[in-house]
């Protein structure tokens, strides 16, 4: 890179990304195509039973799913502009979307509803064991299909689910030991009172499931049980997708707070079998840090951990 006709480091974050791709693909001529975007969509019982944890109604999940399939959402427009194929997956929407069809040849719609949303995690596990296993396998299968069908080399993994920042915050607290209030943000626009209520809900959820998590025999089992009790169908599917991307040697791009928590679940489930790119350039990017909704409430150590996840999930090197 430094041999090119440019000042060293002058391409900034783009240069850092190119170096990461070189390391991951073990070549000085890395490629980022074919590329795919997979968006998993599901609803949450805690939102259904307590609408105040998010300012938007649960039916917005259905509306965004339809917009994604039609190619008119922000993700659809960006995917099309980048030449990426888009797959939209209903893995647990609490509504009827069976009629939804893709709006163009570059979009696939997968109807794989596992249930109409999760259970209320304040009073019971969000998913039963069969449900979380099915969601993990769904995520793995979606990545396998992109690799088999398109030869995908880079896959961005995202989500839609009103209220899922509450689940992600609870998962983050359970997996890291960080205080629940430090893991909560305003999500899609909570006011101060709404944020305080969300923090209280996350604290209750973590407290109610803490004893069960403490009895998990291994850290890996604890991570999976946390995902079952506090996660959602889309979060579990994303974790499965990251796990399969690592197995297949595909670069997986983690986009945002919820995706990072899903990647953290995948890492913990695999006992750190995923190798991540360096977080250093991202820690210096104030705009990216702001987009993460971590803000000043999260410690620098926690930010470093999550921002490491945002780079890529790196394929395991040959032994």
Name residues whose C-beta falls within 8 Å of residue 228's C-beta, 6 or more positions apart in sequence: 125, 126, 127, 128, 129, 131, 132, 236
Q: How confident is the model at residue 206 (pLDDT cuts 50, 70, 90)?
A: very high
Top-confidence residue, 315 or 243: 243
Q: Is the dihedral of CA 162, 163, 167, 173 positive or negative?
A: positive
- Of 28-32, 156-160, 314-318, give the lowest mean pLDDT range: 314-318
The tokens describing 184, both together, are 């909560």
Top-confidence residue, 1 or 279: 1
Residue with tokens 């039963």: 128
74 lies in a domain? yes
| Core vs surface per residue 200-236: b (16+ CB within 10 A) or e | ebbbbbbebbeeebeeeeeeeebbbbbbbbbbbbbbb
Q: How confident is the model at residue 188 (pLDDT cuts 50, 70, 90)?
A: confident
Q: How confident is the model at residue 184 (pLDDT cuts 50, 70, 90)?
A: confident
Q: How confident is the model at residue 241 (pLDDT cuts 50, 70, 90)?
A: very high
The whole-number average pLDDT for the span 190-200 is 89
pLDDT of residue 228: 96
Tell the burial category of 174 from Cβ atoms under 10 Å away from its Cβ (0-12, 13-18, 19+).
Answer: buried
β 313-314/275-276 pair status: antiparallel
22 lies in a domain? no
* Alpha carbons 91 and 194: distance in angstroms, whole number: 28
| Nearest partner of 260 among 230, 225, 293, judged by Cα | 293
pLDDT of residue 138: 98
27 lies in a domain? no
pLDDT of residue 255: 74
The whole-number average pLDDT for the span 116-136 is 96
The whole-number average pLDDT for the span 173-200 is 87
3 lies in a domain? no
Check pLDDT > 70 for residue 120: yes
136 lies in a domain? yes
Total number of domains constituting the chain:
1
Kindly report, residue by residue over 253-301, the tens digit of the pLDDT: 887 888 889 988 898 887 644 433 333 333 333 323 333 333 333 323 3
Question: Which of the given ranges, 13-22, 182-191, 222-231, 279-288, has the highest pLDDT on average?
Answer: 222-231
227 lies in a domain? yes
Region of 202 (left: φ > 0; alpha: ψ -120 to 50; beta: rest) is: alpha
56 lies in a domain? yes
Half-sphere exposure of 198 (CA within 13 A, CB side): 29
| Structural domain containing residue 258 | 32-314
5 lies in a domain? no
The whole-number average pLDDT for the span 56-62 is 92
Residue 291's alpha-carbon distances to 125, 202, 282, in angstroms, are 30, 21, 11
Average per-residue pLDDT in the chain?
A: 81
Check pLDDT > 90 for residue 166: yes
Q: What is the CATH number of the domain that holds 256?
A: 3.40.50.10210
- Of 128-132, 145-149, 176-180, give the lowest mean pLDDT range: 176-180
């Amino acid at each position: 890179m430094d041999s090119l006709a440019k000042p060293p480091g002058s391409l900034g974050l783009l240069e850092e990304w190119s170096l990461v791709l070189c390391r991951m693909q073990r070549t000085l001529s890395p490629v980022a195509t074919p590329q795919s975007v997979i968006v998993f969509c599901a609803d949450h019982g805690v939102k259904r039973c307590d609408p105040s944890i998010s300012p938007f109604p649960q039916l917005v999940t259905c509306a965004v799913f339809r917009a994604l399939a039609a190619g008119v959402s922000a993700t659809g427009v960006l995917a099309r502009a980048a030449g990426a194929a888009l797959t939209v997956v209903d893995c647990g929407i609490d509504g009827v979307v069976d009629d939804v069809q893709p709006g163009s040849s570059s979009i696939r719609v997968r109807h794989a509803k596992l249930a109409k949303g999760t259970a209320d995690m304040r009073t019971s596990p969000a998913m039963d064991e069969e449900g979380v296993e099915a969601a993990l396998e769904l995520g793995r299968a979606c990545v396998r299909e992109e690799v088999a069908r398109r030869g995908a080399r880079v896959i961005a993994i995202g989500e839609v689910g009103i209220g899922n920042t509450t689940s992600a915050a609870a998962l983050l607290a359970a997996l890291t030991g960080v205080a629940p209030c430090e893991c909560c943000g305003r999500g899609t626009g909570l006011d101060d009172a709404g944020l305080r209520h969300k923090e209280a809900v996350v604290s209750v959820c973590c407290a109610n499931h803490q004893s069960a998590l403490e009895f998990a025999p291994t850290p890996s089992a604890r991570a999976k049980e946390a995902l079952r009790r506090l996660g959602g169908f889309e979060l579990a599917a994303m974790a499965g997708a990251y796990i399969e991307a690592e197995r297949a040697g595909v670069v997986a791009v983690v986009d945002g707070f919820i995706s990072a928590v899903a990647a953290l679940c995948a890492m913990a489930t695999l006992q750190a079998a995923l190798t991540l790119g360096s977080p250093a350039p991202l820690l210096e990017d104030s705009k990216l840090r702001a987009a993460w909704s971590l803000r000043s409430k999260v410690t620098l150590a926690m930010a470093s951990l999550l921002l490491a996840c945002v780079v890529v999930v790196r394929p395991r090197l040959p032994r």
